[in-house]
Structure 1
């Protein structure tokens, strides 16, 4: 017996914006067919949407292990790893921690994994600004603006950092 009925119910739950119920249905599908990489992948996406990153990575990793040649699964796992790096970098950016170097390293790694992660560019700009390096802060903000020209925060940061540069 496979889990297709449970998958259908999971999608119905998603359409009803009940992501917790969708997770339950995906888990039931996996219980029916634990070696189905697609089920793990779909569950991972649902966990990621709910900001349950550790569980998302867990199931994405299983999907990749089960179907290692699937580029979609591998790409999804790579994007999740980028999100993990961004989250870890945020922890290093509180003013008391003074670990901006570590945050910058993590954010650059995240951008390497996901060059479209606008949040990583914005936080990278903040990290450079905390160090007083407004040239690099401005560059990071402008990278975000190039990705999304109408992104309000990116434009605000770019203007702020440009202002800091011209006032030096």
Structure 2
């Protein structure tokens, strides 16, 4: 069997809804052709969709290193790095005390890696609000709303943060109404 046949079997497994088997077939293709960046990339996508982020990152990184000029591989790797940072930040976010600043640092890095990470922008806004830093909280919500203008939760957060910001600076300006 060659790598192409193993990839075909992986796709057959995906169509059958058996993602674990698909991962096995992608791994087999990589065993047969370890230098094939596309096989690593495909395995990474399937692992990411199966919530196997560490393995997805490993193979996305391998694809990127095998073909460093390929923008798709680089972008995919960055998106997975952002997802990993978001998950880590969520853990810091739930801890009491100064851990919120670690979450903010990670979330800022996540949105730099993946500027389409709506969840990261929203969590970043909440983290800033938790520190009563409403200017950056409002900006993060606005970035989220650029990605999804109809996001109801983001719209509510924006109104809430603008109101709190106005109270914080003395209430001289009227908050935005919906």
Report the TM-score when normalising by structure 2.
0.85
- In the TM superposition, what are the counterparts of 1:61-72 in structure 2 within 5 Å? 61-72=61-72
1:43 shift after superposition: 0.2
Unaligned residue ranges in structure 2 (runs of 5+): 169-178
Residue 151 of structure 2 is matched in structure 1 by 151
CA contact (8 A) 1:6 1:26 kept: yes
Report the TM-score when normalising by structure 1.
0.90
1:21 shift after superposition: 1.8
With over 3 angstroms needed to count, the CA separation of the structure-2 counterparts of 1:9 and 1:151, relative to structure 1, is farther
Partner Cα separation in structure 1 for residue 156 and residue 50 of structure 2 = 28
Partner Cα separation in structure 2 for residue 167 and residue 17 of structure 1 = 53
Partner Cα separation in structure 2 for residue 50 and residue 152 of structure 1 = 28
1:163 shift after superposition: 3.5
1:23 shift after superposition: 0.8
Q: How many residues align?
A: 168
Structure showing greater radius of gyration is 2
With over 3 angstroms needed to count, the CA separation of the structure-2 counterparts of 1:150 and 1:128, relative to structure 1, is same
Residue 32 of structure 2 is matched in structure 1 by 32
With over 3 angstroms needed to count, the CA separation of the structure-2 counterparts of 1:97 and 1:24, relative to structure 1, is farther
Residue 136 of structure 2 is matched in structure 1 by 136
Greater Cα shift, 151-160 or 32-41: 151-160
Unaligned residue ranges in structure 1 (runs of 5+): none
Residue 105 of structure 1 is matched in structure 2 by 105
Two-structure CA RMSD over aligned residues (Å): 1.7
